[in-house]
Amino acid sequence: MDTGGSSESPIEPKKRNAKTPKKAKESVLKQKSPAEFFSENKNIAGFDNPGKSLYTTVRELVENSLDSAESISELPVIEITIEEIGKVKFNSMIGLVDQERVDQALYDDFESAKAREKRLAKEAKNQEIQAKNASLGKKTKEPSAPKGIKGRGEASFFRVTCKDNGKGMPHDDIPNMFGRVLSGTKYGLKQTRGKYGLGAKMALIWSKMSTGLPIEISSSMKNQSYTSFCRLDIDIHRNIPHVHIHEKRDNKERWHGAEIQVVIEGNWTTYRSKILHYMRQMAVITPYAQFLFKFVSDAVDKSITIRFARRTDIMPPVPVETKYHPSAVDLLLIKRLIAETSKQNLLQFLQHEFVNLGKAHAERLIGEMGPDFSPKMAVKSLTSQQIVRIHQLFRQAKFDDPSGDCLSPAGEYNLRLGIVKELHPDMVATYSGSAQVFEGHPFIVEAGVSVGGKDVKQGLNIFRFANRIPLLFEQGADVVTRTALKRINWSSYKINQTQDKIGVFVSIVSTKIPFKGTGKEYIGDDISEIAGAVKISIQQCCLQLKSKIVKKIQAREQQERKRTLSRYIPDVTNAIYEILRDAAQQHAKKRRYEGEDAELVKKVSMKSITKEMLRDELTKHVEKVDYEMALDYAMHSGVSEEPREAIYIQALEGELDFIDFHNPICVLRLFQNTSEL
């Protein structure tokens, strides 16, 4: 091999054009705390945007206060204050020094010279058009004030304070009650305004996200010599409270209740009407509560103070916790009940943990389950397959419906009072249906329909309540709205759907409200049991109103007939008198009448009968006919149809013994004078 003259170098491997793919990193399993989940999905709890967040914060705090007062049968006194906080004040609260802008073009609200020139030219052109129209005598609209350029970074902050006279909270429980998501006292099968322990905690999470400021809580229980004060925020990643201050302070006034204060970003301008509408509807459904609402602003003309006074001291009974209906449970719930039960055998478990399951019925069910089951078998020894068998039998077997004794509806009395207090209608009718069942859960529908009133628009004004909470959003898809618009023939009840001012109030209470969507803002129209109950309730109110409206129409027609007859009395009097006078003259020349006719003609000739006398007699006759028609109508209608007037008696001060007598129309209170005993 010749190597001397060779100039070739050893062969090198070719370089690849494509890069060698890197080895993928192994994914790491991570977990999120409940607080972190809801902070990332805050729309689930109603914190979609700053305006909705302000509304939801007010709503959650008010409802917690009502629950707290009602739990100890205390007439609620609730004060809500929204204080507007300016940018300078907010910066001082968080210890931030205002920084002057250096590079104006960096900001979103910066207006370039070209844009400013264009805007000024447009404003000048509009002013020229306005002046030209004014000189020609044409009507011109007032020029709108130029809108300020607001950047996305401009935020509005508010301090929301809610104070009540409720139960208060134990000192040691306060941090977890406000700083740990999905912890609360309302778990269990019970009619409640809230259930998942999200309300005030979401306000705290929103405060932490938008302002970084903690929440402040003051609380004291009855006959407690101290007030608990706590300032805290929440560790979102670990779902635990981060306590700044937790101390006991003197309670010289012996106040009991809770006061919660939170600073959040919000939007009062766009949600002002929603918040005030919510407070008004809450005053309708809870006329036994006293609300004081304040909006405080540096601009005096923007500040608002509204007092919703108490109208009655009759409170609905406190809802009681009930047991599950066999047809309303699933496998997970059966397993949880087995794990938590204190009963030893299967027979005792079925009797104790479920409603409408007596001993005889439970024994029949166990006999139907198969040879592997017996009444005395240990309930803790049930296998997964046996639990599935129990669940299958629960779904197939027949059970009595649960009663509505565990529910606490507002009551016709309170609903009527609330409507009258807030709307001042011309007439109102209310109806409370009997308890019905949907998927093993009892529910009660109450309704009220009013006609006329103050601050009520023409047409249908629909007010919806679920477990005595006003529902303000998603109205179009709600079962109440669709029933009122599509399933009620208003004209058949003498009500004009477009011209009359109609208020439709429907309150649904249940141990489980079947809300649609994540925001719990409406009840779907696809549940036939609820849709049918809502329709019947509204129709019953309309039937009551129809009788009142018919009476009103008849009375109006009667008055119209009376006015018509009275208008013709002078003409008829003249005509009759002229005829009688002509007859008297003819009778004087030639006797043409005898008996009573002759006597009448003679009286006319002697002027014993005059025009004035005839007119008075005709007037009396019209009055008599009017009275006889009214009397005849009353006899046919019956005494029960007579109009009733609501009478409200102011509650007496002091501690007195009394007995309440309830009926569908009113509550009579009999006081006992103990001083004479």
Binding site for ATP: which residues?
64, 164, 185-186, 194-201, 520
Calpha distance 208→472 (Å, rounded): 26
Q: What long-range pairs does 31-38 form, CB within 8 A, spacing at least 24?
A: 33/181, 33/236, 33/237, 33/238, 33/239, 34/181, 34/182, 34/239, 35/180, 35/181, 35/201, 35/205, 35/234, 35/235, 35/236, 35/237, 35/239, 36/236, 36/237, 36/239, 38/181, 38/198, 38/202, 38/205
Distance of CA 655 to the CA centre of its chain: 33
Distance CA 541, CA 428 (A): 8
Token pair recorded at residue 117:
């020139």
Q: Say how many residues make up the chain.
A: 677
Q: Alpha-carbon distance 390 to 366, whole Å?
A: 9
Q: Among 264, 236, 175, 270, which residue's Cα sits nearest to residue 41? A: 236
Rounded (10°) angle between helices 528-589 and 595-605: 80
Nearest to 190 by CA among 320, 68, 317, 352: 320
Phi-psi region of 526 (alpha: psi -120 to 50; beta: other; left: phi over 0): alpha
CB-based contact 598:580 (threshold 8 Å): no
Query: What tokens does 502 get?
Result: 């109609």
Question: What DSSP designation does 96 have?
Answer: -
Q: Which tokens is 114 given? A: 């070209």
Pick from 393, 414, 175: nearest CA to 283 = 414
**Whether 569 contacts 622, CB under 8 Å:** yes
Residue 125 corresponds to which tokens in the numbers above?
Answer: 């052109």
Is residue 569 helix, strand or coil?
A: helix
Cα 357 to Cα 348, 361, 374, distances in angstroms: 10, 6, 16
Contact status, residue 50 vs residue 292, Cβ threshold 8 Å: no
Beta carbons of 425 and 451 less than 8 angstroms apart: yes
Q: Count CB atoms within 10 A of the CB of residue 355.
A: 19
| Residue 298: DSSP 8-state | S
> Annotated binding site: which residue ranges?
64, 164, 185-186, 194-201, 520
Please choose, from the candidates 404, 381, 627, the residue with its C-alpha nearest in 3D space to the C-alpha of residue 508. Answer: 404
Helix (DSSP H) and strand (DSSP E) numbers for the chain: 16, 18
Per the DSSP assignment, residues forming a β-bridge with 428 are 450
Per-residue CA distances from 628 to 97, 122, 553, 593 (Å): 85, 75, 18, 34
